[in-house]
Structure formats: structure tokens, C-alpha cells
Amino acid sequence: QTRPDRNTCLVKFAPGQKIRTAYGDGMIVSIMEGGGNASNYIGFRYKIKMAYGIAFIRPNAIVHLLPNNSTNTNEGGLNYARNRNGLMEFVELSTNHNKSSNSVTLLGKNNCCQVLFGTEKIYIFLRLYCLLVMIFNQHKHVLPKITKAIQEYIQNEKVDSKTFETICRSITQSKVHQLAALPRLLEKCTDAWVKVAKEDVLLNLYDFSQIQHMDLLLLRRQSFSVSGDATFRIHHHAGQMFFSYLPPEVDLLTSPRGSMSSSSTHHNNPNIEEDTQQQPHTKRIKVK
């Protein structure tokens, strides 16, 4: 087999998914494997419906998956690809809550929060990426100039960190230290993302986080079944990210501490006894 015949991709896509290839966008019609003879082995390939016709494309020609915007509830609702053993399985998801309990429900855009239990590598990448987004958001008024400066730093070997900081000072006088840290931060983000990709558990963990079962304990158990290192709770709410470290021996609290009233706690706790002996005696005074 030649090198293009070897499928080294971690993810196999499924029929019905929209993808972007080196030859244009299209939708997968079917998956084909094998064929030919001993001297002319064809190998694994996708049959894809393109805008100009049918194409047969190898996995290494696929750039990335395209989002599916289908929201037709008459055809089964949202389409979602679930990762199982490296294969993106294409399933039909119902948006009708009156259907059987076996149907899978995903978190929609109207949900206020989303929780994912991730590994340390996922946690580090998200912290770095959130910092990168925050810097870009605070300097979005000069973002085109910053992008050009970063490209010059990458392409021109003569531009060192001090020269890049000088360029940043010419762009803006506000929070220059943040802009000066961008090249190094981008390198850290890239390294962290490579480690996440090599770990190869993010797709499965994200898949569980999309199921709207509203049971964090079950979600945590499912995440631990994927990876025993899923010890970081990553919580997205109202445009903010919250992180917490939860090793397996630590219980996950599903309600705030002290949610019960102090009076009910006092009467229901058998370990608390009233100490009446140490209280001073009250004497009655007869008024004449």
C-alpha cells in the first residue's frame, strides 16, 4: 500500500455528514473500503456528493467537518454525530420531549449552562485559550494590526520578542504587556492542543456533555468510564468559564452547602443537644 492508502485519521466520518475537502464542500453518501486487485489496491475512501457531481475522496483529503444546520423536526430533529471507537455515528435526535425516554436530547442554544468533565490536558488548554480570547477581546479595536504583527513575527526571523513589543507599543499604549505575550501564548496553546489531540478523549467527553440528562453524578461516572483522569469540572454559564478540581475520592456536590435552614438543621441533628445546665438561673422578683 502506498502512503495515501493508509488511513491514519483518528476520526471516521459517517454518511450524511457535511465536510470540507481539498476539492470543495460536500456531503458523505457512503463509505467504501477495499476494491481493486493485488497490484491496484484502492483502499478506504468516501463517496461524496459535491456541487459539481460525485467524488471519491480519501480520508487525508478531508479538512474538517461542517456544522449541520438542519432543524426540521418532521425529519427527526437535530442531526448529531456521536464518536464511538473512532467512528462518527450519524444519529437522528428528537426535539419532542413527549417521545420515548430512549431518545437522546442535546443541549440547545437556549440552555443557560453546560458542564464537561475533562482531563488535566483539556483544562490547561482551555485556560490558555480563554486567556487568549480575553486578550483579543480587550484589543479588538486594533485586532487587524495585531494579527499583522503576529504574522510578521512568525515569518520574519529577525523580529525577536523585544522588536515585537516595540511594534505593540506603536499599535496601542494600553496593556502592552498582554500583546507582548501573544506569541508565547500562541505557542503554549498550540502545544496544549497537540497534547489534547494525542490524548484522544475529548470527543467522547464532549459527547457526554451534550446529553441533557441533567444528572451531574451520572455525567461524572460516564466521564470516568472514558478516562480516569477526567478530574476537572469545566462549567460554562452566561458567557463565563468556571473550573474546579474534583479527584475521584471527592464527592460532587449537587446542592449548595447549608441549603437547609438553621432551625431545621438544629432540630433534625441528633448530635446537637441543648445545654441548659450552664445557663444562669432566672429569679422572679415580686413587685410590691
Where do the domains of the chain lie, and which CATH numbers do they carry? 3-92 (2.40.10), 113-120+199-245 (no CATH), 127-192 (no CATH)
pTM, entire model: 0.57
Top mean-pLDDT range of 61-75, 78-92, 211-225: 211-225
Q: Report, as an integer, the average pLDDT of 77-103.
A: 51
Q: What is the pLDDT of residue 121?
A: 94
The pLDDT score that the predictor gives to residue 55 is: 92
- pLDDT per position as a tens digit, 187-231: 899 999 999 988 888 887 887 777 665 578 888 888 888 888 889
In sequence order, which ranges of the chain are alpha helices (DSSP H)?
120-138, 143-155, 161-171, 176-180, 182-199, 202-209, 216-226, 262-268
Question: Whose grid coordinates read 487525508?
Answer: 60
Residue indicated by cell numbers 476494491: 35
| Average per-residue pLDDT for the chain | 73
Question: 110-130: string of b/e by CB count within 10 Å (b at 16+)?
Answer: eeeeebbbbbebbbbbbbbbe
CB distance 212 to 101 below 8 Å: no
